[in-house]
Chains A and B, each alone.
Chain A
């Protein structure tokens, strides 16, 4: 049972990551490879506040969200001056820089040793300790993210963002300050990514920089590519599919030494196949073609 619940928690974490990246990728048309940086910084801020300063989880969480939004602003301002491949490269540079800092700034982040002994979330005497309790907390977070993005996509803000994606010049000619829209999209996306970060840190009670690499950014992109971009259901379906595939492999008795490689091969092949056969993903509204 705990096994199923554990998978559920992981799906919830990636579902929120997928939804938040979708705001950039599917709505803004901004191909960012820096999402794991926000996920990681969210995890680190909340974990370090809890471990070093005895913060409560629910107090550390908003600080992490704000921290990630500021980081997003920092990433967005220079990157958004660039287009296409250059924009992607700038986000990739930020992803690598954040990882390098997490890994090497030992006095603050404890570098490769990681942060251990992260306490469990507590609220009014009630403690989130068991896997099922984390699954419920994750479900609450996921529901909040879904509600936020549903509201956002139905709002004029979401429509303007979509217009920018489809034809930026047109949006400018209608008097929209497109840069401001894109910067705020970056900040919302980064801020939401702090939620799964904090949840992950509290859930596994130990984090180190290797959970927040470029590969992780690519993984989040993969789930959107598979599920589809530009709406709510795409990333949700994508998170389920991409996280359930390795669990199915478990039953094929692939030895543990090669399982991670086999998993990666499947993910890579999925991306290539989707681009060739169905560039808008299984249920997406926006194609990468």
Chain B
């Protein structure tokens, strides 16, 4: 019984981890607290729905298309909204408010187009596999595989590729990177596109699993933020692990009490981390910055 809940938790956590990894890339490079990440997430899910049901594309190419468009969308949000604020040297509150406003606008446009109700992408019973006493569905396997592949790929890209080094340099010290003549704008664009793409992958995998409504993005973004802080800001991979842990904890809470305290568990974790170890579990001890 416990094992089943842990496996379910890992699958849910895989999606949280992907969204959190994306959020962490964006936050570290740009210092923008990107609530609109949730809007990108929801948009990706609806794009998938549109391609599959209206344009009758089969599901894998439809998802690839949705991810690509979502990455573009994230990139455009930065270019159109956050970058001008950064150029004006506005502070953190201005960008938080802007991202909240953007989130509200985008999800309500989605609601106007597709309706407020939950849409199911696929019906029928999902194919399952039995491993010992644990049952996993095909979608859950896809979730775990996608997480592992993208997590490892992201780690390798960050470590060894030229652009990965650029992103790490900018997130470590933006001013120094700029002074050294590194391409800050390129790092921003990459972070937004890649981070939004990761969220979109999670969105597509969640959409085929549990369906879509316009408001799915906000809880995921909040969980991703908690995962990012839990794991430790500045360590990109830590956000992904934070996501996994939150997924497991949530499912254990469901197992022990009931589903209604799931959200509460996440935020109790956040408060505990913020109060006792605000630098996160995996970050070397360091003073917290102003913003």
Contacts and interface: CB of A to CB of B under 8 A. Distances in A.
B260 A271 contact: no
B125 to A, nearest CB: 30
Contact of A265 (B92, B105, B229, B267): B105
A288 B96 CA distance: 10
Nearest to B84: A276
25 contacts: A31-B93, A31-B96, A83-B291, A85-B92, A90-B271, A93-B267, A97-B264, A101-B264, A258-B112, A261-B112, A265-B112, A268-B100, A268-B102, A268-B104, A268-B108, A271-B101, A272-B101, A272-B102, A275-B94, A276-B81, A276-B85, A279-B94, A288-B94, A288-B97, A289-B89
Given A272-B98, A279-B94, A83 B288 contact: yes
* Size class of the contact patch on chain B: 35 or more
Interface in A112-135: none
A78 B225 contact: no
Nearest to B225: A89
Nearest to B276: A78
B278 A82 contact: yes
Interface in B71-129: 81, 84-85, 88-98, 100-105, 108-109, 111-112, 116
A3 to B, nearest CB: 25
Given A93-B267, A279-B94, 7 more contacts: A89-B229, A100-B260, A103-B260, A269-B105, A271-B104, A272-B98, A288-B93
A89 B275 CA distance: 12
Given A270-B101, A288-B93, A81 B108 contact: no
B192 interface: no
B201 interface: no
Nearest to B271: A93
Given A84-B291, A97-B267, A78 B96 contact: no
* Size class of the contact patch on chain A: 35 or more
Contacts, number: 130
Contacts of B93: 31, 288-289
B98 A275 contact: yes
A83 B92 CA distance: 11
A192 interface: no
A262 B94 CA distance: 23
B264 A271 contact: no
Nearest to B265: A100
A85 B92 CA distance: 7
B263 interface: yes
A30 B123 CA distance: 47
Contacts of B96: 31, 85, 88
Contacts of B255: none
B26 interface: no
